Amino acid sequence: MASALKALAQLILSNVERLESVCEKHGTDHPSLDTPFVPSALDADPVALEASRQIVGAAAQLLATVRQPMEVLQDYCSGMYTAAAVQFVNANDVVDILQQSGSQGLHSNDIGLKTGVDSSKIDRLLRYLATRHFFREVQPNVYANNKISSIILKLKSLAEIQKDPVSKYDGSPGAAMAGHFTEEAFMGSQHIAQFMKDPGQYQSPFNMAIQDTTNIFAWFEKPENVWRGRRFVAAMKGGGERFPPEIFSSAIDWKALKSGSSVVDVGGNVGSVTLPLAKAFPHLHFVVQDLDHVINEAQDYWKENCPEALTDGRVELQVHDFFKPMPVKADVYFLRVVLHDWPQAEGVKILQNIRDAAKPSSKLILFESIVPHACKETSPFLSDASAPTAPAPLLPNYGLGLGGFVTMVDIQMMTLLGGRERTIEEFVELGKESGWKLEEVKPGPLATFIYSPV
Ligand SMILES: C[S@@+](CC[C@H](N)C(=O)[O-])C[C@H]1O[C@@H](n2cnc3c(N)ncnc32)[C@H](O)[C@@H]1O
At 335-362, the pLDDT tens digits run: 999 999 999 999 999 999 999 999 999 9
State the DSSP string of 67-124: S-HHHHHHHHHTHHHHHHHHHHHHHTTHHHHHHTTGGG-EEHHHHHHHHTS-HHHHHH
Residue of 180, 191, 340, 373 marked catalytic: 340
* Residues 79-127: tens digit of each pLDDT: 999 999 999 999 999 999 999 999 999 999 999 999 999 999 999 999 9
For ligand 1, the distance from its centroid to the CA atom of residue 290, given in whole angstroms, is: 6
SS3 content of the chain, % helix, strand, coil (to 5): 55, 10, 35
- Catalytic residue flag (residue 285): no
Stretch 163-180: mean pLDDT: 94
Report if residue 141 sits inside a domain: no
Say how many Å lie between the CA of residue 153 and the centre of ligand 1: 29
Query: Which SS3 state, helix, strand or coil, does residue 333 take?
Result: strand
Neighbours of 295 (CB within 10 A): 19
Q: What is the pLDDT of residue 242?
A: 72
CA pair distance 61, 298, nearest whole angstrom: 46
**Between β-strands 142-144 and 136-139, what pairing exists: parallel, antiparallel or unpaired?**
antiparallel
* Residue 415 burial (C-beta neighbours within 10 Å; 0-12, 13-18, 19+): buried
Q: What is the CATH number of the domain that holds 378?
A: 3.40.50.150
Atom 26 in ligand 1: residue holding the nearest Cα: 269
Query: The domain containing residue 44 runs over which residues?
Result: 4-75
Residue type, 111: I
- Please write the tens of the pLDDT for every residue from 251-262: 999 999 999 999
Nearest CA-CA partner of 346 in 321, 367, 363, 369: 321
Residues 313 and 409 grouped into a single domain: yes
Identify whether residues 299 and 164 lie together within a single domain: no
Confidence band (pLDDT; 50, 70, 90) for 239?
Answer: low
pLDDT at 240 over 90: no
What is the structure's pLDDT at 386? 73
| H or E segment and range at residue 364 | strand 363-368
Taking the centre of ligand 1 as the mean of its atom positions, its distance from the CA of residue 264, in whole angstroms, is 13
Q: Do 172 and 254 belong to one domain?
A: no
Residue 335 alpha carbon, nearest atom of ligand 1: 6
Q: What is the pLDDT of residue 385?
A: 67
Could you give the CA distance from residue 175 to residue 86 in angstroms, rounded to a whole number? 10
pLDDT at residue 2, rounded to an integer: 77
**Res. 333: pLDDT tops 90:** yes
Cα–Cα dist 162/97, whole Å: 11
Average pLDDT, stretch 294-312? 95
Give the atom of ligand 1 at the shortest distance from the alpha carbon of 272. 9
User: pLDDT tens, 188-208?
Assistant: 999 999 999 999 999 999 999
The reported pTM is 0.92
Domain membership of residue 280 (yes or no) is yes
Distance CA 15, CA 75 (A): 26
Q: What percent of the chain clears pLDDT 70, i.e. is strictly above it?
A: 98
Average the pLDDT over 140-154 and give the result. Answer: 98
Are 333 and 318 members of one domain?
A: yes
State mean pLDDT over 416-440.
Answer: 97
Write out pLDDT tens, residues 25-38.
Answer: 999 999 999 999 99
The number of beta carbons lying within 10 Å of the beta carbon of residue 293 is: 10
pLDDT at 113: 97
pLDDT computed for residue 270 by the predictor: 92
- Alpha-carbon distance of 10 to 18, in angstroms, equals 12
Q: Which atom of ligand 1 is nearest to the CA of 341?
A: 1
Residues having CB closer than 6 A to ligand 1 are: 240, 267-269, 272-273, 290-291, 294, 321-323, 336-338, 341
Query: Does 134 reside within a domain?
Result: no
Mean pLDDT of the chain: 95
Q: Are residues 314 and 220 in the same domain?
A: no
What is the separation of C-alpha 12 from the centre of its chain, rounded to a whole number of angstroms?
A: 26
In this structure, the answer to whether residues 201 and 344 fall within a common structural domain is no
- Domain assignment present for 58: yes
Query: In terms of domains, do 341 and 388 share one?
Result: yes
pLDDT score of 389 more than 90:
no
Asked if 231 and 278 sit in the same domain, the reply is no
According to the model, what pLDDT value does residue 117 have?
Answer: 97
pLDDT, position 238: 55
Show which of 242, 273, 308 is a domain's final residue: 242
Which of residues 355 and 162 earns the better pLDDT score? 355
Q: Give the total number of structural domains in the chain.
A: 3
Whether residue 293 has pLDDT greater than 90: no
Would you say residue 427 has pLDDT above 60? yes
How far is it, in rounded angstroms, from Cα 151 to Cα 304? 30
Q: At what angle do helices 79-91 and 173-180 cross, to 10 degrees?
A: 130
- Is residue 324 in some structural domain? yes
Which carries the bigger pLDDT value, residue 449 or residue 39? 449
User: Which residue has better confidence, 217 or 239?
Assistant: 217
How many whole angstroms from 239 Cα to the centroid of ligand 1?
14
Give the residue, by CA position, lying nearest to ligand 1 atom 11: 267
Say how many Å lie between the CA of residue 271 and the centre of ligand 1.
Answer: 10
Phi-psi map region of 215: left, alpha, beta (phi>0 left; psi -120 to 50 alpha): beta
Contact indicator for 333, 264 with CB cutoff of 8 Å:
yes
107 falls within a domain: no
Per-residue pLDDT at 136 exceeds 70: yes
pLDDT band at 141 (very low <50, low <70, confident <90, very high): very high
Calpha distance 90→84 (Å, rounded): 10
Is 329 in the same domain as 431? yes
Same domain, 282 and 388: yes
Give the per-residue pLDDT at 44. Answer: 87
